[in-house]
Structure 1
Amino acid sequence: MSTLADHLRALPDDGLAALIRLRPDLVIPLPSDLSALAVRAQSRLSVARALDGLDRFTVEVLDAVRYLRPDPSLDAVLALTAQGGAGPARVRAAIDELRALALVYGSDHALHVVGTVDEVMALPAGLGRTAAELDPAAAELAADPAKLRRTVLGAPPAARAVLDRLAAGPPLGALATPLADDSPVRYLLEHHLLVRVSEDTVELPREMALVLRRDAGPLGQLHPDPPPLAGPDDARAQGGIGTRALREAQKKADRAGAGQALEAVRQTEALLEALAEEPAAELRTGGLGVRDLRRISRATGVDEPTAALLLEVAHAAGILGDDETGFLPSTLYDGWQVAPLAMRWRMLAAAWFGMPRSAGLVGQRDDKDRLIAALSPEVERLGAPAARRALFDVLADLPEGIAATAEELAAVLAWRSPRRHGRNRSLPVAGILGEAAALGFTALGMLTSYARPLLAEQADPDEDPLGVNDTGAPDAAAVLDALLPPPVDAVLIQADLSVVVPGPAEPALAAELALVADAESANALRITTTSVRRALDAGYSATDLHALFARRSRTPVPQALTYLVDDVARRHGGLRAGTAAAYLRSEDESLVAEVQADRRLAALGLRRLAPTVLITATPPARLLEALRAAGYAPVREDATGAAVLARPKARRAPARPAVTVRREDPLAMPLLSPARLGGVVEQLRRGDAAARAARRAPLSVRTATQNGTNAHNDAMVVLQQAVRDRARVWVGYVDAHGSSMSRLVRPVSIGGGYLRAEDERTETQHTFALHRITAAELETT
């Protein structure tokens, strides 16, 4: 039987390159020759990685080869799989895939399975060990097929149900002890249909399972096709749905998703503004405390799970950072805040798609029964990007306008990669879909049209470094921008001083509205005495505010608003506070007297220095707060008497890089470009040729450093003669790592302490230091 190394040597260059492209871990680091490559291809870790990428049907075909071993023919595999309902074309395609991965090799007359596969996978087709391996009594029963059939078919219904469940696989079952007298498992053990393999485990022998599988064959029913994605009720009868209806369904989903994307951007901005106003301290163990998350949630009106998700995404996008004071917006936030809405969403969506974190864990308890905090190390999951990629690859394969449920998507994922997403490895499909819907990535159970370009953007740059295959597909932000309402630069001011924003506001308008009005909902604000005073504190004058409202309002400015601005402005700055600890002065003596006599301000300890001046030991900030609470409108001034503007300086955390979205998860191997594959294959071929040549070197050359034969001077004589005769010679030498090597070369010259020679097999030139040469012997024909 040929070995895997012999099989790899027989492969053409494109076949070897295809293997390396499918299993790039085999050449990281680059093996010295093809024998080393074969050893690595049979390692447990590499085989497990290759098996993880197989779909359910390919695994079932591999089980068929393992079941028929040793070395079954392709015809035998086709006959066995036909019993399970698989067509020969599909089986041949699966065998070709297994051969391409070097998990199966050999001719159609003798298929060999890499031995490590049995160590990584369970017993083939969910069948147990043979009765002879488990128990003599069971082996005696299995030796009589007629008696075995009568015993199995004569089992009581409860015992037969246990047999059917174990026959479907896996063949091992947990055993409850002690067994009741009427237990079906006791019956099966007493009749040797089950074998007890430990105190709490039983196993169904293979012969018994084959009797139960007599209708579908030893492998059972095979699954050459993935489960169907039927979609919602109105799409189940797809034959009755026309293209126009599907297009309308997709448009409806796009509109709903675009609205949610807009809401996600707004909520993220609100959360970050709340943190800018009052940063949240970082826990000693890392992350955002539950109380801080609850406070931010109440202040912004965003529920806690959504707030945790958006904060995680903002942190991954780099617009949320932290410093010694805690979590607060980073320096990148200001640029993100003024960017177009579609670009802002794209930045959040790309960060979510690639971040190695799972926000759904926030609020759950860890293995020590402690709550998992947002932005904490416990939320990190390196496999999260690959899980999202796998799920959205399924969604992207659906035609536009067709939705699918979480259960249907989980079933397809389990078929595509049973070792990753199959039994006991369930992917949190519902959680990922919930996060995607909250971000507007999906809507109404289907992928939005603007999310599809974002998935396509995750191509590896090595596949097309010059961009020659660029299809010119629209950017995700451009597709979303066409769905969003255009930004507005005007508002509707109502008679009750409410402000209606008829769409997403331009950044400049949004900044002005945040200063002169208080938000009541996403598109509704209200102008109040407090908001007008806030604008005056920031440096606006009454004239400026009148001009702002006249410029921005599409409706006539209400007279009540004009009166409000004039009234607040007339009283604004009538009092001026300074440092004494603090002082209070006014040109209006009666106003000063009124303040001093106001009982609500008695705690300030105001003293009158002059008819127009009061002083207090209270700091200016506390003085201003108390006066405003009492209904006055003071303005702070500096040492020169100039008014101090109240616009606060925004605090920002240091910028942090956003998450880099890769095509694969962080644990995956890199994709190799065709040029790199060609170089790897060439180097492997040369290394293998050199290794085989070295194994054919004369014994005197290979053992020169051990037994001292062929002194150095004798080697020099042989080499000088070879240079004159242009003859090939075996050279033994010690390489830079101290290893003894041998190579068949044709010497070109000797001089300067070096031998220069060419290797005709690999078409390369070599330079040997003369003091490292241990032996030389002419080639014998």
Structure 2
Amino acid sequence: MSTSFADRLRSVPDDALATLLQLRPDLVVPVPADLSALALRAQSRVSVARALDGLDRFMLQILDAARLTRDPETGLTSAAAVLSLALTPPAAVDRAAVRAALDRLRDLFLLYGPEDELAVADAVDEVCPPYPAGLGRPAAELGPQAAELCAEPARLRRAVLAAPPAARKILDRLAAGPPIGTLPAESLRTAAPGGRTGDAAARPAAGGGSLEPGPGDPGGNGGTPPGAGGSAASGGDAASGGDAGAASHGGPGAAPGDGGGAVRWLVEHGLLVPVPDPGTSPGDTAVELPREVGLLLRRDTGPLGPLRATPPEPAAAPREPKAVDSAGAGQTMEAVRYVEALLTALGAEPAPVLRAGGIGVRELRRLARATGLDEAVAALLLEVATAAGLAGEADLPGATTTRAGADQQILPTPFYETWRAEPLAHRWEILARAWLTMTRQPGMVGQRDDRDRPITPLSGEVERAGAPAARRVVLGVLAELAPGAAPDEDEALELVAWRMPRRSRGRERAYREVLAEAANLGVTGLGALTSYGRLLLADPAEERRAADDDPLGVRAASTALPGYTSPAVRALDALLPSPVDHFLVQADLSVVVPGPPEPALAAELDTVAEPESAGGASVHRVTAGSLRRALDAGYAAEDLHGLFRRRSRTPVPQTLTYLIDDVARKHGGLRVGAAGAYLRSDDEALLAEALADRRLAVLSLRRLAPTVLVSPYQVARLLTALRDAGYAPVPEDATGAAVLTRPRPSRAPVRALMAARAPDPLAAPKLSRPRVLGVIEQMRRGEAAARAARRAPDPVRTGNGARPAARHTHSQALAVLQQAVRDKSLVWVGYVDAHGGTTSRLVRPVSIGAGYLRAEDERTDMLHTFALHRITAAVLD
């Protein structure tokens, strides 16, 4: 820890410390004991890296400017030096933008100190690449030849202009950053220190000597200009296309038309310097471009590369916000409907869990076909439903092991029934919030793992701890745009790369998947973030808890009360069509629902009709099979007549009335019981028909009486076979009463359904100003206590490395305390705590009696009680 950094924290006012803690809330988890501990934590690699991850490209470039302008001796820079470098022509940013970035870096304490003596936090150099802005070290640090060349600007310009085409291409690549390249050692074997060549100079370098980008600067801090990225093509490839006639520029060495010749020419003329680099492969060597050469080559873009103080504007024309919300609302209805259809299919036929975890490819295809979804979308909705607690794993009956993936299946959970009864907007919010927070990356499904096996849904290979952060990054960037702004994928990735360059590198595929998933779930519409999607990103409870006028979170507690509706749900509910409690029955027995049905109406339609089409207005059809299903669930004929009369806004067709009566008349003509199972009926002809039916031969029916048949199979199989053959049997109990109940669906137990969720590292809890000021007060008290302990006299000093002095006798300590009570003076008290440790306090005694000392601590305004037999010493302050 830098002493000056800790001293700077001690000297700043509370408002500056409060700003630091609000911008970097990780510094107070847990609360530091004092300001020294805060300074140590603020300069740690982890905390600095987290602070840098939240900076945009422009602020990282300004931080690079501060690193570049540091004085070699003092290590300090100034605001004027940073402004001078950042505003060097042809920079296209204004002074106010640079000043704002500097102020932000100082608020974060990545830069600290007065403006004329700014220091860079120590861990910044450890976390960031060693080459600020993609520029190399000064020539004076690399070698005398390069230093001599760069000391004369005119000579340096002539050397760069004289570079052959192949060598100039290498210079341009390294000038864009990073400034390090590697090439086989034999390519420079002919180049001796100082620019002279050896005997082998006339021989061409073996293998061409291709120049590869070096490992020194992966562009980690985002300061490298766009497009550089450290991925320059090999110099040999570029050099091979050079002009062989340029050999006259190469002196006595090999012709610079080949790759090795071009590099040798640059080394011989001091424009590149061989440097030791532990990152190179054995037998290879590294070369570095001096900073002065890089700055000269960047004369068209500026020393820091292209500067942009604001994010790039999307080229696409903005959408109408109302159209965006309408499109997104329509997709939310589809997402909820498809999740319900997916879970219904799972309830009818559960998906077995593989021994390796997850469900198989065949099961995913079955579910996709059953719901009419693409496999990728089906995998997404299945993962989201599981994360929301709507589906889970259940042990098969008779399972002999509890090992994951063995004798288990995926089923809907009991929460699914509760979810179905909620309003549509609330159902969607449960899914969307589960998607935002789940540590799963559904886009991985269908890819191959390390062993070339397909990655399946709900398997461990889909787990990605950074998935919530990726979603927050992408949606946060879209939220910063104006309502209706709809960038395409490439523009969105460019915005993310500008907004958080350190986090975006290497995550382009994951960000594209986030955009596709957001569109499928209705978080975005027509490529733009919806209004309710913006509200979804903001946690209302957290916002209220962080409000300065509600430091105790009293109003935030209202969000947990029953009946509370979040702003996102209210906004979406206003966009969705109102739920309807009726339908329109057509003459062809089709039932049209002119809007999203209420939960009660939807449950009735699931029982009495077959769905045909869905959307804003869904269509169902009444069939003999659906009516038999309703009768099996406990409806009577009169109940069905009453349901259609009550719910239909059109006259009930006579054909539907006849169909209900006809199906009800046949329903229950056969009775099934357990014998294995028996089949009885008062209609002997009907029993004879069943006995002669070849489709029922597998049941091994035989007649016991004119009205009774028996089968060795159980009741469930007998009922299924009869219904499949077109009969309408009804089960009965031992008393002969008909058993008319709705089948109870299988459900998975609720077992750690939310385990797949993880805290979002980008959604750090916001700290209100009063709370932060309270933390600062606590740290200042700790600082005062630590300072007081350091200046405590020897008889009461705690044993933290200090030499213990002879203790006072108990009578001496008691006399000092009695005198302090009379004089109301401060006194240092040394005592043994309950754990046997020796400590000390500076207090003002109030009273002595009953074996106790009562004294007030002026720093904390607290009254302490000390047992007299535990006091070891007392010294007046």
Question: Please, what TM-score do these two structures have when normalized by structure 2?
Answer: 0.80
Whole-angstrom distance in 2 between the partners of 1:250 and 1:778: 73
Other-structure match for 1:637: 732
SS state at 1:428 partner: helix
Q: Using a 3 Å threshold, how does the CA distance of structure 1 residues 310 and 724 change in structure 2: closer, same or farther?
A: same
Q: Using a 3 Å threshold, how does the CA distance of structure 1 residues 657 and 500 change in structure 2: closer, same or farther?
A: farther
2:540 and 2:566 in contact (8 A); partners too: no
Other-structure match for 2:20: 19
Q: Using a 3 Å threshold, how does the CA distance of structure 1 residues 749 and 580 change in structure 2: closer, same or farther?
A: closer
SS state at 2:744 partner: coil
Q: Using a 3 Å threshold, how does the CA distance of structure 1 residues 175 and 372 change in structure 2: closer, same or farther?
A: farther
- Which string of whole-angstrom CA distances, capped at 9 and with x for unpartnered residues, describes residues 331-386 of structure 1? 22222212222222222222222333322222223344343332334333333333
Other-structure match for 2:310: 225
Q: Using a 3 Å threshold, how does the CA distance of structure 1 residues 710 and 426 change in structure 2: closer, same or farther?
A: same
Is the counterpart of residue 466 in structure 1 residue 554 in structure 2?
yes
Is the counterpart of residue 191 in structure 1 residue 266 in structure 2?
yes
Deviation, 1:526, is 2.9
Other-structure match for 1:437: 519
- Which string of whole-angstrom CA distances, capped at 9 and with x for unpartnered residues, describes residues 553-592 of structure 1? 4444445444443443333333223223222222222333
2:635 alignment partner, one of 535, 540, 548: 540
Deviation, 1:3, is 0.7
1:424 alignment partner, one of 491, 495, 506: 506
* 1:675-754 correspondence runs (5 A): 675-698=770-793, 702=797, 706-713=803-810, 714-733=812-831, 741-754=839-852
Other-structure match for 1:257: 328
Is the counterpart of residue 672 in structure 1 residue 767 in structure 2?
yes
Other-structure match for 2:675: 580
SS state at 2:85 partner: helix
Whole-angstrom distance in 2 between the partners of 1:661 and 1:88: 47
1:419 and 1:425 in contact (8 A); partners too: no
Is the counterpart of residue 327 in structure 1 residue 355 in structure 2?
no
Paired AA for residue 266 in structure 2 = H
Other-structure match for 1:352: 435
Deviation, 1:167, is 1.3
1:120 alignment partner, one of 120, 127, 142: 127
Deviation, 1:697, is 3.4
Paired AA for residue 525 in structure 2 = A
Is the counterpart of residue 169 in structure 1 residue 254 in structure 2?
no
Deviation, 1:52, is 1.6
1:406 alignment partner, one of 486, 489, 514: 489
Whole-angstrom distance in 2 between the partners of 1:495 and 1:501: 15
Deviation, 1:166, is 2.0
Paired AA for residue 463 in structure 2 = E
2:379 and 2:445 in contact (8 A); partners too: yes
- Which string of whole-angstrom CA distances, capped at 9 and with x for unpartnered residues, describes residues 159-217 of structure 1? 32332222122223454797416823521244213335333554333232122123444
1:105 alignment partner, one of 98, 103, 112: 112
Paired AA for residue 292 in structure 2 = E
Deviation, 1:267, is 0.7
Q: Using a 3 Å threshold, how does the CA distance of structure 1 residues 304 and 215 change in structure 2: closer, same or farther?
A: closer
Q: Using a 3 Å threshold, how does the CA distance of structure 1 residues 121 and 202 change in structure 2: closer, same or farther?
A: same
Other-structure match for 1:72: 77
Paired AA for residue 152 in structure 1 = V
Deviation, 1:110, is 1.0
Deviation, 1:444, is 0.6
Whole-angstrom distance in 1 between the partners of 2:663 and 2:376: 41
Other-structure match for 1:277: 348
Paired AA for residue 519 in structure 2 = A
Q: Using a 3 Å threshold, how does the CA distance of structure 1 residues 666 and 25 change in structure 2: closer, same or farther?
A: closer
Is the counterpart of residue 373 in structure 1 residue 461 in structure 2?
no
Other-structure match for 2:608: 516
2:440 and 2:464 in contact (8 A); partners too: yes
1:351 and 1:661 in contact (8 A); partners too: no
Q: Using a 3 Å threshold, how does the CA distance of structure 1 residues 538 and 133 change in structure 2: closer, same or farther?
A: same
Q: Using a 3 Å threshold, how does the CA distance of structure 1 residues 439 and 480 change in structure 2: closer, same or farther?
A: same
Whole-angstrom distance in 2 between the partners of 1:324 and 1:741: 58
1:604 and 1:618 in contact (8 A); partners too: yes
Question: Please, what TM-score do these two structures have when normalized by structure 1?
Answer: 0.89
Identity in percent: 60
1:386 and 1:664 in contact (8 A); partners too: no
Deviation, 1:121, is 0.9
- Which string of whole-angstrom CA distances, capped at 9 and with x for unpartnered residues, describes residues 108-163 of structure 1? 22111122211111122221233454456545544554443333222233432332
Other-structure match for 1:241: none
Other-structure match for 2:530: 448
Pick which of 431-440 and 667-676 moved more: 667-676
Whole-angstrom distance in 1 between the partners of 2:788 and 2:153: 57
1:515 and 1:535 in contact (8 A); partners too: yes
Q: Using a 3 Å threshold, how does the CA distance of structure 1 residues 179 and 758 change in structure 2: closer, same or farther?
A: farther
Is the counterpart of residue 647 in structure 1 residue 745 in structure 2?
no
Paired AA for residue 15 in structure 1 = A
Other-structure match for 1:156: 164
Q: Using a 3 Å threshold, how does the CA distance of structure 1 residues 181 and 203 change in structure 2: closer, same or farther?
A: closer
1:746 and 1:757 in contact (8 A); partners too: yes
Deviation, 1:777, is 3.9
Deviation, 1:431, is 1.3
1:318 and 1:656 in contact (8 A); partners too: no
Q: Using a 3 Å threshold, how does the CA distance of structure 1 residues 636 and 742 change in structure 2: closer, same or farther?
A: closer
Pick which of 695-704 and 513-522 moved more: 695-704
Whole-angstrom distance in 1 between the partners of 2:412 and 2:163: 70
Is the counterpart of residue 530 in structure 1 residue 538 in structure 2?
no
1:410 and 1:427 in contact (8 A); partners too: no
Paired AA for residue 486 in structure 1 = S
Paired AA for residue 251 in structure 1 = K
Whole-angstrom distance in 2 between the partners of 1:458 and 1:383: 23
Q: Using a 3 Å threshold, how does the CA distance of structure 1 residues 340 and 760 change in structure 2: closer, same or farther?
A: closer
Other-structure match for 1:92: 99
Whole-angstrom distance in 1 between the partners of 2:873 and 2:652: 102
1:612 alignment partner, one of 703, 707, 714: 707
Whole-angstrom distance in 2 between the partners of 1:573 and 1:469: 55
Paired AA for residue 526 in structure 1 = R
Deviation, 1:419, is 1.8
Whole-angstrom distance in 2 between the partners of 1:730 and 1:605: 99
- Which string of whole-angstrom CA distances, capped at 9 and with x for unpartnered residues, describes residues 374-404 of structure 1? 2334333333333323322332233333322
Other-structure match for 1:239: none
SS state at 1:79 partner: helix
Is the counterpart of residue 382 in structure 1 residue 383 in structure 2?
no
Whole-angstrom distance in 2 between the partners of 1:706 and 1:25: 37
Tell me how many residue pairs correspond in the alignment. Answer: 764
1:488 and 1:506 in contact (8 A); partners too: yes
Other-structure match for 2:578: 486
Q: Using a 3 Å threshold, how does the CA distance of structure 1 residues 734 and 425 change in structure 2: closer, same or farther?
A: farther
Deviation, 1:669, is 4.5
- Name the Cα RMSD after superposition: 3.4
Paired AA for residue 545 in structure 1 = L
1:485 and 1:503 in contact (8 A); partners too: yes
Q: Using a 3 Å threshold, how does the CA distance of structure 1 residues 555 and 173 change in structure 2: closer, same or farther?
A: farther
Deviation, 1:473, is 11
Whole-angstrom distance in 1 between the partners of 2:546 and 2:798: 47
Q: Using a 3 Å threshold, how does the CA distance of structure 1 residues 106 and 639 change in structure 2: closer, same or farther?
A: same
Q: Using a 3 Å threshold, how does the CA distance of structure 1 residues 285 and 687 change in structure 2: closer, same or farther?
A: same
Structure 2, gaps ≥5 residues long: 186-205, 211-235, 240-258, 397-408, 548-552
Deviation, 1:752, is 4.9
Whole-angstrom distance in 2 between the partners of 1:210 and 1:582: 92
Q: Using a 3 Å threshold, how does the CA distance of structure 1 residues 368 and 711 change in structure 2: closer, same or farther?
A: farther
Paired AA for residue 497 in structure 2 = A
Whole-angstrom distance in 2 between the partners of 1:488 and 1:762: 64
